[in-house]
Amino acid sequence: MNAVFESPAQALATVPQQVLHEVFGYGAFRGEQREIVEHVVGGGDALVLMPTGGGKSLCYQVPAIVRHRAGQGVAVVVSPLIALMHDQVGALDELGVRAAFLNSTLDGDEARRVERDLLSGALTLLYAAPERILTPRFMAMLQSLNERGKLSLFAIDEAHCVSQWGHDFREEYLGLSALHEQFPGVPRLALTATADEHTRADIVQRLKLEDARLFVASFDRPNIRYTIVEKDDPRRQLLRFLRDEHEDDAGIVYCQSRKKVEETATWLAAEGLDALPYHAGLDAAVRRRHQDRFLREDGVVMVATIAFGMGIDKPDVRFVAHLDLPKNIEGYYQETGRAGRDGLPADAWMSYGLADVVNQRRMIDESEAGEDFKRLQRAKLDALLALSEAHDCRRVRLLSYFGQASEPCGNCDNCISPPATWDATEAARKALSCIYRFGQAGGQRYGAVHLIDVLRGKLTDKVTQRGHERLSTFGIGADVSEAQWRLVLRQLIALGHVQTEGEFSTLALADSARQVLRGEVAVRLRVPAEIKARGKATRDRTSRGAAPKPPPVPLDAAATARFEALKAWRAEVAREHNLPAYIVFQNATLAEMAREQPATLDALAGISGVGAKKLDAYGAEILRVLDSAA
Ligand code: ADP
Ligand code: ZN
């Protein structure tokens, strides 16, 4: 099927679209994919910033195929994610594209076979870890390929790993500028889902991409619904969310500590969910087993620290829940971005409370980092707190953090049910002046619990021991509930008017508190929401806000039976090929088959996600499954 082109320009004009259709079975490029692909096929360098699920892989896979067909050799893909290479190569194999990987999991014989295929020009793509690429042996092979004009491009995936500012810095990535120095004629494509300015500038500088064209996709993930709830009884809140909204769905629950991961996983399992723990303290074999089950089976809930997730490209993760506050908006965005890569409705859910704010602040204060770094971390945390406390559209705030303007989305908690608010200016002033009085009466500092007791006029032992019942602020806030006081305090801390200090998180006034005390700053808060029970019956996923494409028509009973039959068939194929089921076909593709009921191979070829190789390999069987399930 190799086409011979008269000129590169001709290849550029027609072929990417053809490859997309024939190999991947997709009808059209998404967003900026077309421009990126054409730029790289034409020999240009590029830096691509695209959110998770945006379709970065196609941006180098299509050029690799096009250039290989035009006799330009192999594309080398640098990836830090050794665990994923096997599945990525498996997916390309399913598509009929010759690919291989070189990493430490191969034995000597296997590695030599791959090297032979590489040098003979048989491969279209080669995945390799950076430390492997930079070895003299590998560089010599690249040299030999390059001399023969058989090095088609370099794709540097997860390019933010080159930045010390990022969250996944890898020393070896710094060496990758050697690729440019030694092979200046080979186009390079760096890709990342990390958007902030700092990291971007770092990537350009360290990978020497000054002349590369920059592609910045929209960072909006319209199919993800953002919800942030106040912590009340977080376990119960989580369970209700999982039961009401995500029964039998696959998803991730993030916790901050290993201990909490273990406890939460055990508890969810006792509640009858298929939940597994994952954190860096677990045995490597256990981690691998749990990850495999998550990737390969339906409906597994992974309870994890942030050690889990980078490079998990499972497309049908239906929810990401945070039981604890992430470090900053970048972290929140990355982690929630693992939901809904397939473009179907997905949830990002977080519970958040005063203790989260205090903990995160303390972790920054007590870290060994320098003052500059701490200041940056504090500012980043503050931005996340503002997002959490917001009573307007979450998405507008999220995108504006990444420098992108947008309109209220209709698909976040605040858009769907705008929260009631109250004027808390007076209450805030009372709290601040009470902290001030503590300072006057002996210079001692106290925590939130004691402060609220004093404000509400409670005669606890501590109150009487300190003589705080004699303070002018004693009992001035009896009309405000404890829950509301906690909210007021959290807001004051989140806004930076109050600082927390030391082991007991005692409270102190910041300079800006003066403005609030003088009544120059109004404080508006959401009314503490009692958690609304959203029963299954009231849920209507298909009518949710702006999805990227029209939401699929729900399957009727007969189509559901066909869908289940197809899934059962797929499970067998996946087992035989030792691959996750979604690599054989994604759910969305099977659902379309079940709905459309194609009766011929031609009709089947029209379904999105069915390329030539899969049609050839599985077409007849699929028609038979559809026929017998009808
Ligand atoms: P990223 O690496 O940016 O997170 P992927 O490359 O894994 O995203 O793509 C996300 C999903 O979108 C995959 O399931 C992929 O098959 C699908 N996809 C990408 N581009 C297209 C397209 N043009 N048409 C249809 N599906 C696409
Ligand atoms: Zn919104």
pLDDT digits (tens, 9 = 90+) for 192-207: 987 677 888 899 999 9
Burial, 520: exposed, middle or buried (Cβ in 10 Å; 0-12, 13-18, 19+)?
A: exposed
Query: Please, are residues 432 and 491 in contact by the beta-carbon 8 Å criterion?
Result: no
Q: Closest ligand 1 atom to the C-alpha of 193?
A: 3
For residue 157 and ligand 1, the question of a CB distance below 6 A is answered with no
Query: Please, are residues 36 and 61 in contact by the beta-carbon 8 Å criterion?
Result: no
Estimate to the nearest angstrom the gap between the alpha carbon of 169 and the chain centroid.
17
Query: Please, are residues 129 and 171 in contact by the beta-carbon 8 Å criterion?
Result: no
Model pLDDT, residue 532: 37
Confidence bin at 82 (pLDDT 50/70/90): confident
Q: Is the Cα dihedral 319, 324, 329, 335 positive or negative?
A: negative
The residue-averaged pLDDT of 104-110 equals 90
Domain covering 557-629 in this structure, CATH number:
1.10.150.80
Model pLDDT, residue 145: 97
Range 8-216 classified under CATH 3.20.20.140: no
Q: How far is the CA of 53 from the centre of ligand 1 (A)?
A: 6
Fold topology of 422-531? Arc Repressor Mutant, subunit A (1.10.10)
CA neighbor of 437 nearest in space, from 355, 509, 520, 338: 509
Q: Could you read off the pLDDT of 1-40 as tens digits, one per residue?
A: 444 555 555 555 569 999 999 999 999 999 899 999 999 9
Strands (E), 355-460: 421-423
At residue 351, the 3 state secondary structure works out as: strand
d(CA 606, CA 590): 13
Which residues in the chain are classed under CATH 1.10.10.10? 422-531
Structure tokens at 537: 């019956």
Q: Could you read off the pLDDT of 247-286 as tens digits, one per residue?
A: 889 999 999 999 999 999 999 999 999 999 999 999 999 9
Mean pLDDT of the chain: 88
Which residues make Cβ contacts (< 8 Å) with residue 556, sequence separation at least 6? none
Residues facing residue 75 across a β-bridge? 125, 153
> Residue with structure tokens 């500059």?
372
- Where b means 16+ CB within 10 Å and e means fewer, 142-173 reads beebeeeebbbbbbbbbbbbbbebbbbebebb
Residues facing residue 500 across a β-bridge? 507
The one-letter code for the residue type at 55 is: G
For residue 54 and ligand 1, the question of a CB distance below 6 A is answered with yes
Residue to mutate (ligand 1; options 17, 57, 219; most atoms within 8 A of CB): 57
d(CA 582, CA 23): 17
Ligand located closest to 411 CA: 2
Q: Give the number of other Cβ atoms within 10 Å of residue 492's Cβ.
A: 25
Confidence bin at 547 (pLDDT 50/70/90): very low
Which residues in the chain are classed under CATH 1.10.150.80? 557-629
Model pLDDT, residue 342: 86
For residue 219 and ligand 1, the question of a CB distance below 6 A is answered with no
Which residues in the chain are classed under CATH 3.40.50.300? 8-216, 224-352
Domain covering 224-352 in this structure, CATH number:
3.40.50.300
